[in-house]
Chains A and B, each alone.
Chain A
Amino acid sequence: MIGNQTGKPVNRVDGRLKVTGGAKYAAEFTAPNMAYGFVVNSKIAKGKIKSIDTSKALALDGVLEVFTHENRPGYVWGDKNYQDKDSPPGSPFRPLYDNEVQFSMQPIALVVAETYELARYGAILVEVEYENYSFDTDFEKNIKQAYIPEKYKSSKPPEPWGNPDEALANAAVKIEAEYSHPSEHHNPIEMHASLAIWEEGGKLTVYDKIQGVQNSQQYIANAFGMQQEDVHVISPFVGGAFGSGLRPQYQLFLAVLAARELKRPVKVVLTRQQMFSFGHRPKTVQKFALGADTDGKLKAVQHDAFGETSKFEDYSENVVIWPGVLYNCDNVKVSHKLVALDVYTPLDMRAPGGTTGIYGLECAIDELAYKAGVDPLEFRKMNYSEKDQNEGKPFSSKELRECYRQGAEKFGWEKRSLEPRSMKEGHNLIGWGFAQGAWEATQKQAAAKAVLTTDGKLTVSCATADIGTGTYTVMSQIAAETVGLPLEDVTFKLGDSSLPKSPLQGGSWTVSSVGSAVKLVCDKVREKLLQLAQQVANSPLANATLDDVNIEDGKISLKNDPAKAVTIKEALVQSQGKSIEENVSSEPVEGQQKYSPYAHSATFVEVKVDEDLGTVKVTRVVSAIAGGRIINPKTARSQILGGVVWGIGAAMEEETVMDNNLGRFMNHDLDKYHVPVNADVHDIEVIFVEEKDDHVNPLGAKGLGEIGIVSVAPAIANAIFHATGKRVRELPITLDKLL
Chain B
Amino acid sequence: MNSTSATEKFAGLQGKAEAVWKVSWVKRGRGIIGMVFFYLVILSLAFVFVYPLLFMISKSLMRPEDVADATIQWIPKRLNLENYLIAGKAINFWPGLLNSIIISFGSAILQVISCSIVGYGFARYRFPGQALFLGMVVFTFLVPPQTIVVPLFTFFADLGWINTHLPFVFPALLGHGLKGSLFVLIFIQFYRTLPNVLEEAARIDGAGAFRTYWMIMFPLAKPAMLVVFLFSVVWHWNDLFEPSMYLLVPEYFNLAQNMAFFNGNANLEIQQASTSVSTGTLGMAPTLQNQVMAGVMLTILPVLVLYLFTQRYFVESVERTGIAGE
* A and B associate in one complex: no
